[in-house]
Amino acid sequence: MKNIRTQLILLVLAAAALAARCKSRGAEALNDLEKDRFLVKTEKAQVRDIEDYIILVGSVKAMDEAVLYPRVSGKLLRNLLTEGDTVQKDQPVALIERDEPGVVYEPAPVPSTLNGVIGRVYQDSGANVTPGTPIALVVSQGRVRVVVDVPERYVGKVFMGQDAYIKVDAFPDTLFHAKVYRVSPVVDTRTRSAAIELLADNSGGRLKSGMFSEIRLVVGAKSGAVAVPTTAVQDEDGKPYVFVPVNGLAVRRAVRTGIANDTVTQISSGLKAGDELITFGLYGLKDGSKIKVQN
C-alpha cells in the first residue's frame, strides 16, 4: 500500500513539472513576439458601379384593392371562392339569400369589382349580412406599391422615375427593383416629410400586400468608379485617409472620396484600381506602425 501511494505522489510531481515546463515555453514564445506589430488584412481597390441611397421604411400594398359588399340584406348562402383563388371583374364571389318572409328570390350574387385574387373572406355561410357587411377582399398584385415618407432634407433629391429597391424579411437576400411614380407636392408640417409612392413589378407574386419593407432610394450613382470597403476609410477633421501596406509598415495615405454607401466608397484620388489597402485591424493603427498581413 505504501509503494502505491509513493508511486501516485511521483506521478503527480512529474505531471506538475511537465505543466510548468510547457507554461514556461509558452511564456518564452509570447515574449519573442513583437508587441507593437499589428495583425491586419488587406484588399485591392476595385473598379465597380456604386449607388448612394437613403434607407426608408414602408408597407407593401397591392396596386388595386377592393372590399366587396352585398347589395341586399339577408344570409350568406355560400362563398363561391376562397383565399388565393383568382377572380375576374363581375365574377360572383358569394351568394346572398334574401331574408323576406313570404317572398322567394333568386340568390343575389356579390360580384368582384376588379381582376385579381381573393385576399380574404370575411364571413362564413349562414352569417346575417347587410349592404354594410364586408364579404371579401380582392387584390390585384401583378404590381405593388409602397408609400414612404421622405425627410425634408432629401426632398430635393427625389424625382419621378427614380430607382429604388425593396427588401422584405421573407426574402432577405433579394432586392426587388422599383421606381418612384408619385411624389407629393407638399411637405407635412408635422412630420417634416413628403410622401412618395414606389411601383414594382410583382409578376412572381412574392411581394404580398401588408408586408413591412425596407426601401433603398437611390440618390446618386457612379459607374466604373474605383471603390474600397467603406470601413477601410478613416477620417480626421473631415480629411479622409486609408492605410496601405509598405515593406511591413502601415503608411497613411490621404484620399478624396465620392459617392458612398454602407458597403463601399468611391475613391476619386489617392488610390487607383489594384492598389492594396488595409481593411481589417485598423484599431490603434498609426502611420508607420509595424504590421503583419494575415493570409
Cross-strand pairs, 108: 96
Contacts of 1 (CB under 8 A, 6+ apart): none
- Give the pLDDT confidence of 186-225 residue by residue, as tens digits: 999 999 999 999 999 998 889 998 899 999 999 888 889 9
All three cell numbers of 214: 425596407
Listing from the earlier edge strand, what are the strands of the sheet with 128-129?
Answer: 108-111, 92-98, 74-79, 128-129
Where the chain has pLDDT below 70, the residues are: 1-35, 102
Give yes or no for a contact between 178 and 166, defined as CB atoms under 8 angstroms apart. yes
For residue 148, what are the CA distances in angstroms to 38, 158, 221? 46, 12, 21
Strands 234-236 and 276-280: unpaired
Tell me the HSE value of 6 on the side-chain side, using a 13 A CA sphere. Answer: 3
pLDDT at 265: 94
* Cα radius of gyration rounded to whole Å, the chain: 34
Listing from the earlier edge strand, what are the strands of the sheet with 276-280?
Answer: 234-236, 239-246, 249-254, 290-293, 37-44, 276-280
pLDDT at 30: 46
Q: In 231-252, which positions are buried (b, 16+ CB within 10 angstroms) versus exposed (e)? A: ebbeeeeeebbbbbbeeeebbe
3-state class (DSSP) for residue 127: coil
Give yes or no for a contact between 107 and 78, defined as CB atoms under 8 angstroms apart. no
pLDDT at 230: 94
- Give the pLDDT confidence of 102-127 residue by residue, as tens digits: 677 889 999 999 999 999 999 999 99
> Does the pTM exceed 0.85?
no
For the chain, domains (ranges, CATH) are 37-50+223-293 (2.40.420.20), 53-60+142-221 (2.40.30.170), 70-134 (2.40.50.100)
Rounded CA gap, 235 and 10, in Å? 62
Phi, psi at 22, each rounded to 5°: -60, -45
All three cell numbers of 264: 463601399
All three cell numbers of 259: 459617392
Rounded CA gap, 150 and 194, in Å? 5
pLDDT at 182: 94
